[in-house]
Chain A
């Protein structure tokens, strides 16, 4: 049926005057589970099926979406998309044109071992409750929480240039959190990452690999211990960021500024613009010589939340050099905007949250290439620093210059050894100054492709999963502690 719906959409759009049309049928199933202090919290399964139709008519864009999947419903939706495009042309400056792209007929599915929807929900809840119990055993824990989420996206993309691409993606994610309240202070520790744990384009094997139960006690103990830790000092310091925190740093201070729609002003009213104006391409020293960052949607890069075979306008997944030996070398683009930076082809980053949302330029897997350092050697090589792990809050200005992050936990590094625990660690700076201060990156052995499941962008707002490969890295002369300065 998916093929029929898509064909009805394209036929109607062309008949109504569209010069280009594409249709995405998406069938999405999701399971969300959570527990809190020994009880089940959320236990929810959702499914949604519909079609989004994007057209160019009178040289302008129109988009309409419906879940009314009868011939009449789909045709009405396609007609509405064309009517909207014609209305758009009332405020048009020039005709939309798309960079050339070949037509593809293909089927792809991300590899996974265990379908999470075939694992009994009872087993999944038992696992969360077992981790919950381990956290609650630790005296001082006020809230023990666990969560799992799974998403299966079955989608067909069909376009008027002849593409027919069927993709099936399976996402899994899980994590635990211990929160403590004592003496007018709230602290928390999360495992394996904050804000929902680790997420990837994998099956239930991801959850099993995390060993939530085995890590629950340590997570809870650290949350309690934070109340007795020393406050993060205020000043200039060397810092070492753990891999997941560096992943979010990449997301905010590299991933978003390289979105070409943002650079060209299309997000000016909401998500903001970018300091990376187009004259900086291949000229700006973004980071130090050892910083190499890629945007890589290919499966070879790993099973991340930004992995696919084709983007949502039918362009194959690619690997794009973003920062090469410190030099800024690439943006994320699409078929409409590629020519604005002199490119002849989109680099394939159009993604959509669901059938009822328009695809837009999105991060794929934006990852820093591993360096040469072993983690123990990096610590041993550091005289005086703060090691910061697991994000607690993040904020950056609307052009992505000035940022401030805080993490759940930190440790002093003194004379090459890990010392006292530090609470309320925070650091901030200016994006390019920060990346130019990077002087050590750990090796492939310490590199993880982290998943960020909650990236918001666009109007109407879309939430997208992105991947960020990172390993612990060291930065010099960074301002720390400002978040708590009085």
Chain B
């Protein structure tokens, strides 16, 4: 029930080189950076400038009820003064404001104890390029979004259903520079289409995100959500218990999404990771292999971290065994390891995290998972996931917008939504089948590249009223 992606247009312009939809050109942003570095008399200074233009068309009850656009500029300055560091931000670009943001950061830095572990800023770095800019996305208009939304609303009307959702297009450019000569730039476009189709006692949902708006087919997503709503009509109530669960990719994403910070070396150092005392031991099933990889073709994001360190591809789990953590420069020094380019902007107490997770997938389709299941639950998406117990990594949440009973190899009925209380560690030891990994979008986690999963003994602990 995962909607197919639309084929990309072959000859679309992709370069961000001459595209300046915001109020600043690249050259002007570079000049702004130079002004800030010139104004600062700190020992060392780091500047990050973020320019974004985001637009979102939101619909409900088969009509547009919200349609917004924002143009924003963020200027963030970190200074280092005598072994101390602090950050201040503004969105004002006049000279007085730029001087003031530096003075604010300097004032914060001076008024704190020295940090003996503070590292000097990085010098110039070489980056392997990633390309996440698509001109068609950056140039999408309110009319483009409204026409697509009008079509899916008309479709819902025809099906006697009710549609709600969003169509997002946006463009973001980030520059990172420092007084030691580091300079990095990343251009990124983002398109998202998400739709919920409602019937009186059922609903269906579908969502995709991509750098290229033409990779998203709103009509196909609407058809998929519509089909789920129709198929789950008049849901029956199942008793809570342990079931085989078939998680579509968005459900997998939101389920495993709580795991990412556990691979932070700081989390392990602080003993708040579920991987405390478990590195190098068998923790998950043999079929679980996981990387962090910003260079994966389905991933997005800059090729550098919060300090400008180049991001590395890191094997986190190899056939069920946690192998590596990710490190910021400071954490790496503390733990006698090599930095991996996953640090957050400084100063912070959290260290680092992998944010470009890629799970190794399998070759089974969701249809094959259903066909092989005697009795189980098919889950479209999860909702309101929260951690219950951090070491066994037990989380709770609800199913939502398309939950089905599978019996004797076929979907037989929609069911009322379940609450689950399930250890992620246990579930990832019980994966019986996986589909190909795709870029999945949900609402509980950032996007990842994950497969559909068939998991035995999934604990659905309560049932709700719909």
Enumerate A393-432 residues with CB–CB distance to B below 8 Å. 393-399, 401-402, 404, 406, 424, 426, 428, 430
- In the bound complex, residues from chain A placing their C-beta under 8 Å from that of B386 are 393-395
Whether B139 sits at the interface, judged by CB under 8 Å, is: no
Enumerate A147-201 residues with CB–CB distance to B below 8 Å. 179, 181, 184-186
Q: Which of B62, B70, B464 contacts A93 (CB 8 A)?
A: B62
Q: Are A91 and B59 in contact (CB under 8 A)?
A: yes
A88 to B60, CA, bound (A): 12
A94 to B350, CA, bound (A): 49
A266-B60, A424-B389 known; A186 vs B142 contact (CB < 8 Å): no
Q: Which of A61, A65, A396 contacts B65 (CB 8 A)?
A: A61
Whether A111 sits at the interface, judged by CB under 8 Å, is: no
Q: Are A121 and B107 in contact (CB under 8 A)?
A: yes
A40-B115, A90-B150, A269-B194 known; A181 vs B272 contact (CB < 8 Å): yes
A43-B112, A91-B149, A356-B72 known; A397 vs B104 contact (CB < 8 Å): no
- In the bound complex, residues from chain B placing their C-beta under 8 Å from that of A398 are 383-384, 398, 400
Whether B465 sits at the interface, judged by CB under 8 Å, is: yes
Rounded to whole Å, the gap between the CB of A441 and the closest CB of chain B is 26
- In the bound complex, residues from chain A placing their C-beta under 8 Å from that of B145 are 87
Q: Are A43 and B64 in contact (CB under 8 A)?
A: no
Rounded to whole Å, the gap between the CB of A287 and the closest CB of chain B is 17
Whether A49 sits at the interface, judged by CB under 8 Å, is: yes
Whether A459 sits at the interface, judged by CB under 8 Å, is: yes
Enumerate B166-216 residues with CB–CB distance to A below 8 Å. 166, 168, 194-196, 198, 203, 205
Rounded to whole Å, the gap between the CB of A352 and the closest CB of chain B is 11
Whether B67 sits at the interface, judged by CB under 8 Å, is: yes
The total of Cβ contacts below 8 Å across the A-B interface reads 273
Whether B105 sits at the interface, judged by CB under 8 Å, is: yes
Q: Which one of B86-94, B128-136, B244-252, B371-379 is at the A interface?
A: B86-94
Q: Are A36 and B349 in contact (CB under 8 A)?
A: yes
Q: Are B462 and A186 in contact (CB under 8 A)?
A: no
Enumerate B222-280 residues with CB–CB distance to A below 8 Å. 270-272, 276-277
A63 to B62, CA, bound (A): 19
Interface of B is mostly: strand
For chain A, the count of residues having a C-beta within 8 Å of the partner chain is: 85
Q: Are B89 and A46 in contact (CB under 8 A)?
A: yes
Q: Are A460 and B60 in contact (CB under 8 A)?
A: no
In the complex, per-residue mask of A79-119: 1 if CB is within 8 Å of any chain B CB, else 0: 01101110110111110000000000000000000000000
- In the bound complex, residues from chain B placing their C-beta under 8 Å from that of A272 are 383, 400
- In the bound complex, residues from chain A placing their C-beta under 8 Å from that of B391 are 181, 184-186
Interface residues on B, range: 35 or more
- In the bound complex, residues from chain A placing their C-beta under 8 Å from that of B463 are 402
Interface of A is mostly: mixed
Rounded to whole Å, the gap between the CB of A480 and the closest CB of chain B is 13
Q: Are A125 and B111 in contact (CB under 8 A)?
A: yes
A337 to B69, CA, bound (A): 23
Q: Which of A35, A85, A266, A402 contacts B464 (CB 8 A)?
A: A402
Whether B387 sits at the interface, judged by CB under 8 Å, is: yes
- In the bound complex, residues from chain B placing their C-beta under 8 Å from that of A339 are none
Q: Which one of A66-74, A300-308, A470-478 is at the B interface?
A: A66-74
Whether A48 sits at the interface, judged by CB under 8 Å, is: yes
- In the bound complex, residues from chain B placing their C-beta under 8 Å from that of A424 are 389
- In the bound complex, residues from chain A placing their C-beta under 8 Å from that of B142 are 83-84, 87-88
Q: Are B87 and A43 in contact (CB under 8 A)?
A: yes
Q: Which of A39, A44, A142 contacts B271 (CB 8 A)?
A: A142
A35 to B61, CA, bound (A): 47
Whether A138 sits at the interface, judged by CB under 8 Å, is: no
Whether A47 sits at the interface, judged by CB under 8 Å, is: yes
Q: Which of B92, B165, B272, B461 contacts A269 (CB 8 A)?
A: B165
Whether B339 sits at the interface, judged by CB under 8 Å, is: no
A43-B108, A397-B464, A398-B383 known; A84 vs B68 contact (CB < 8 Å): yes
Q: Are A120 and B111 in contact (CB under 8 A)?
A: yes
Q: Which of A63, A122, A485, A486 contacts B67 (CB 8 A)?
A: A63
Q: Are A45 and B108 in contact (CB under 8 A)?
A: yes
In the complex, per-residue mask of B34-75: 1 if CB is within 8 Å of any chain A CB, else 0: 000000000000000000001111111111111111111100
Complex: chain A residue closest to B383, CB-CB = A398
Q: Are B384 and A395 in contact (CB under 8 A)?
A: yes
- In the bound complex, residues from chain B placing their C-beta under 8 Å from that of A483 are 388-389, 394, 396, 421, 461
A61, A90, A269: residue with the most chain B Cβ atoms closer than 10 Å = A269
Whether B466 sits at the interface, judged by CB under 8 Å, is: yes
A120 to B394, CA, bound (A): 42
Rounded to whole Å, the gap between the CB of B71 and the closest CB of chain A is 5
Whether A136 sits at the interface, judged by CB under 8 Å, is: no
Whether B347 sits at the interface, judged by CB under 8 Å, is: yes
A34-B349, A84-B67 known; A406 vs B388 contact (CB < 8 Å): yes
Whether B431 sits at the interface, judged by CB under 8 Å, is: no
A396 to B349, CA, bound (A): 30
Enumerate B452-466 residues with CB–CB distance to A below 8 Å. 459, 461-466
A64-B69, A269-B164, A397-B419 known; A125 vs B112 contact (CB < 8 Å): yes
A63 to B58, CA, bound (A): 12
Show 5 residue pairs from A and B whose CB-CB distance is below 8 angstroms, ordered by the A residue: A60-B67, A87-B67, A87-B146, A92-B64, A393-B387
Give 5 closest A-B pairs by Cβ, nearest first. Answer: A41-B349, A87-B142, A181-B271, A402-B464, A268-B164
Please give 6 more A-B residue pairs, beta carbons under 8 A apart, in addition to A36-B270, A393-B387: A92-B64, A93-B63, A181-B391, A275-B465, A393-B396, A402-B462
